[in-house]
Homo-oligomer: A and B are copies of this chain.
Amino acid sequence: MNAPQLLQGIPFLAAQPARDGAHLVLFGCPFDSTISFRPGSRFGPQAIRAVSDVLETYCPVLDRDLEDVTFADVGDLPLPPGDSRAALNMVRHLAAEIHAGKQIPAGLGGEHLLTLPLVEAAIEAHPNLVVLQFDAHMDMREDYLGVELSHATVMRKICDIIGPQRILQVGPRSGTRAEFAAANRLGNLKTIRVTGAEIAEWIGDRPVYVTVDLDVLDPSVFPGTGTPEPGGVDFATLQIWIAALAGKQWVGWDVMELSPVYDPTQVSAVVAAKVVRTMILASLARN
């Protein structure tokens, strides 16, 4: 497979446009074909970049600045609407390339299904990684209306690869009785009352992949998403959770499920961009 041409636009605030020399490589994954309720997260990556320059480069919570680190934003993959397998291959291929260059891949979604190839590529490079999932939903279904590759099954697919013990789910407040029973048995489910220190302790010094399904936030904070679920976390707490992971060995991350059309105030895009800024700074805290 030839490398597809990425579509480049205004890069994320303070990012360089080319991969060379960067410690972290952002790229957009505009795809939403398996969304079950409200599609539109394909427009997430562009919306995040478009509002990113309303932010400052400095983060007072981490006391770090985007200008202290070196990272690239290489644009969006041209993912084909309606062809999940092709889309997943393209994402996995690019992530693998970035791992090969000893850089951290960071995907901007797009739907949560795209976390699957990102984690697969990360496992290839870091077989003993653990996965930290911030999410309102379990995403542990076997299939959705008969479709196996779906935003609703993504964590089940990952679980099938690395086992439930290496996944920590923070924030789920919606799922089937069976899903909750299983998760409670394993103890890998944390409500929004968990602290950053507890999360950091669970990770320990293992390499970690962090996936943020932005619907972990309460819909009052983040209405611009496909399946809003009332009862979520506020922004400040999510920011503190992420900040608590500065210094860990990050091996990849993603921020998924901004669907800007559902939030005419544009606030959801600003929230997503500020989460991305925090993720960049936390994941590069060792660099």
Contact = CB atoms under 8 A, between A and B. Distances in A.
A56 B175 contact: yes
Interface string A24-53: 000000001111111110100010001000
A219 B32 CA distance: 25
Contact of A82 (B33, B42, B230): B33
A271 B266 CA distance: 19
A119 B79 CA distance: 29
Contacts of A86: 146-147
Interface in A95-137: none
Contacts of A187: none
Contacts of A144: 80-81
A38 B40 CA distance: 7
A142 interface: no
A235 interface: yes
Interface in A231-267: 231, 234-236, 239, 261-267
Contact of A56 (B7, B36, B174): B174
A14 B170 CA distance: 28
Interface in A70-88: 78-84, 86
Nearest to A264: B264
A219 B270 contact: yes
Contacts of A38: 40, 261, 266
Contact of A231 (B8, B58, B180, B235): B235
Interface of A: 7-10, 32-40, 42, 46, 50, 54-58, 60, 63, 65, 78-84, 86, 144-147, 149-150, 173-177, 180, 218-221, 223-224, 227-231, 234-236, 239, 261-267, 270-271, 274
Given A58-B177, A86-B147, A220-B221, 5 more contacts: A40-B40, A60-B180, A80-B144, A218-B221, A218-B234
